[in-house]
Structure 1
């Protein structure tokens, strides 16, 4: 009876929440514009910098009314996100992006593949890529590290996942890989979705590896690089469930490399390109726990072969660090100033 009641409550929750989510998603951008448009018009900005699709229609409206410059900063491939939208919401989102992206003076995005996709899909000039890179130059180099927080000795193999513990990140496959990785501890560092956290614990208990699974709260962004530096390998098991993920170039990859940690990455196009270019780790089948285990087990004893140091590290910093991305962003604004001054 209790089990039946639990199933009923779960079903009822879905029946109530899903329609409410659909209503919210459908009106999300309209509500943002209602709440902000008049305030922005009063400010009369020189540039409206719109982060993601939820703000783009409002920014385009402001630019059209007062003639200011418009930047569209697309942090994901909005039409192909890790989200299940009703068809009516999908059509509205597509219509709004298609209508307004062509009005932008500059489009910015976060990976080369997304830039190519947006260029080809909307027939616009190729967006400028500003990577989501860590500000590791200001990281906390104190004594607090992941390994010390877990009370693990230096001889205990430690794999880490950095970022949100949520659906389609493949973290459960890493837990399923633990029985094939003798003595390896696996820690997540980041905010946790309750349902995903519960699933990870259930899998670990079922497989008898709960003592080697560690769910750690997030640390301040500027501290991540220093905090995870004591791990032996960083695992990026992101699942290929949408184009936005397939094209992703996530912050956690660069955080790991700048922390001096080898990586085991999913076979996604940007991750694979980066690993092949830099030699900083191995590519694995993110859907297969045995493949994940093989990659991790291969990297840990050969850590020194994969850590990027010396001149190679200097080159990576020059190209991929936040300082390099910030300069690229400043260049966007300098170019806009020149154009508007004519």
Structure 2
């Protein structure tokens, strides 16, 4: 298995590796070491290896050049700026010690104040050091401004992108996004050494690494089955504002290597249909939801879990709305704060990845302006196997995401977590999630970013929460939304691609009879 992150925090990849190993496959999960040193540990019966990955190709050529015309006084981007800054600091530190020594000597000699040629020389050198510090600071500022000033979204960059797209087609990624080679140069040799029978490539960066390993193996007469696990619809990803090359480059890379995949899996039925059309796939990708594992569910009381209400300092009768997940503007969290003045007595808990981020601080500031800061609570993540039980202490699970292509076609992870916590849901009107909630009756749908409609939806749920919780009693609904059901889909894909593999024990955790079909999915 290949993934372009440090594994920790990627629940989908962790569960896939663990469950595949439990099913009898010999699993090595390769991820990226976050600190430059290799790491290794066990994830159940799976082996995890994190690989150091230098990124020299991720830098563009202009980052190594001086901006003579725009910032003529800037230091060259060679590292000399940091050296000069530190050298001036060292010089001034030395001068401070020499000043102290002369002052002490003068006091001990009875002169009172230092003087003479040594003192005059010191004063002159201090002035020179001060001027040098200002000069170095100016050149440093020029360098920083030069770095900020050169983006990759101007007319030249768009023309550059178009030129290489016309000239190289899908191969244009080699010019537009050469940093993808850094992944190949780090992961490729390790994959070749492992000589796998099957490569499970997670997402758009790893499909190239897996495909090239398959090509090299075929040249040596050895077959590798390649599974591409698409976590999102790449053309629908929000592009970087200052890089016109990133999205076209990565899309071209994906298109070049998808034909080498022997099977594709993805996170939602809608995305499966989209990928099949986009890439002309012979068969519809298998759908593997990022649903909670059975041992993560509320019925498992194997270890104590933090009490979300105690952390918020509220009692059992206080209405508590919870949002769990990444905190970002496109997740639409602002509507929850804006609605609080119209929801008397209700509290909001943000269980987010970065409680101290600028975006979250902005939410808190806005809550203060509205006079509801005491009803907004910031909480950090809990371990993924505790999430469902932790969230079950709330009264309403909120998903206020805005309209983006990848939001429209998937049920995101928190949807399943809220569902297994048996929380009534209040969700924005993004397509797949709104359709699912309306069909199951497990919550209310509101118009994205519409505060008044959000208040309406929350008020309806708080007025009769048991009506919405009753939806979870539908036979097979929650059973189909478990990782154990998804693990069987995963194992089925592997078994089909490697029919001569030795017999393995059947995966545990068969879904309950009548389980819901896995035709909906999850996004990051």
Name the counterpart of 2:384.
Answer: 221
Shift of 1:138: 3.2
Please tell me whether the aligned partners of residues 442 and 472 of structure 2 are also in contact (alpha carbons under 8 angstroms).
no
Name the counterpart of 2:436.
Answer: 274
Where do 5+ consecutive residues of structure 2 fail to align? 1-140, 158-175, 218-222, 503-524
RMSD value over aligned CA atoms? 2.6
Aligned mates of 2:470, 2:267 — CA distance in 1:
23
Deviation digits for residues 253-299 of structure 1, max 9, x if unmatched? 11111101100011111101221221100111121111111111110
Shift of 1:120: 0.8
Name the counterpart of 2:189.
Answer: 38
Please tell me whether the aligned partners of residues 296 and 387 of structure 2 are also in contact (alpha carbons under 8 angstroms).
no
Q: 2:251 is paired with a residue of what secondary structure?
A: helix
Shift of 1:208: 1.0
Name the counterpart of 1:131.
Answer: 289
- 1:209 maps to 2:372: yes
Name the counterpart of 1:111.
Answer: 268
Matched ranges for 1:140-219 at <5 A: 141=301, 142=304, 144-192=306-354, 194-219=357-382
Using a 3 Å threshold, how does the CA distance of structure 1 residues 131 and 310 change in structure 2: closer, same or farther? closer
Where do 5+ consecutive residues of structure 1 fail to align? 1-7
Using a 3 Å threshold, how does the CA distance of structure 1 residues 299 and 158 change in structure 2: closer, same or farther? same
Name the counterpart of 2:417.
Answer: 255
Using a 3 Å threshold, how does the CA distance of structure 1 residues 14 and 318 change in structure 2: closer, same or farther? farther
Deviation digits for residues 22-41 of structure 1, max 9, x if unmatched? 9xx92332111011111110
Name the counterpart of 1:64.
Answer: 215
Q: 1:234 aligns with which of 385, 392, 397?
A: 397
Aligned mates of 1:322, 1:272 — CA distance in 2:
22
Name the counterpart of 1:5.
Answer: none
Please tell me whether the aligned partners of residues 318 and 347 of structure 2 are also in contact (alpha carbons under 8 angstroms).
yes
Name the counterpart of 2:485.
Answer: 324
Q: 1:15 aligns with which of 148, 157, 165?
A: 148
Name the counterpart of 1:300.
Answer: 462
Deviation digits for residues 302-321 of structure 1, max 9, x if unmatched? 11000146751x41133211
Q: 2:499 is paired with a residue of what secondary structure?
A: helix
Shift of 1:87: 2.7
Name the counterpart of 2:130.
Answer: none
Using the size of structure 2 for normalisation, the TM-score is 0.59
Higher alpha-carbon Rg: 2
Shift of 1:340: 8.2
Aligned mates of 2:330, 2:215 — CA distance in 1:
39
Aligned mates of 1:117, 1:158 — CA distance in 2:
37
Decide which structure has greater helix share.
1
Shift of 1:18: 5.8
Please tell me whether the aligned partners of residues 71 and 105 of structure 1 are also in contact (alpha carbons under 8 angstroms).
yes
Q: 1:76 aligns with which of 232, 253, 258?
A: 232
Q: 2:184 is paired with a residue of what secondary structure?
A: helix
Q: 2:323 is paired with a residue of what secondary structure?
A: strand
Aligned mates of 2:177, 2:471 — CA distance in 1:
49
Q: 1:47 aligns with which of 185, 194, 198?
A: 198
Q: 1:76 is paired with a residue of what secondary structure?
A: coil
Aligned mates of 2:150, 2:489 — CA distance in 1:
42
Aligned mates of 2:444, 2:212 — CA distance in 1:
46
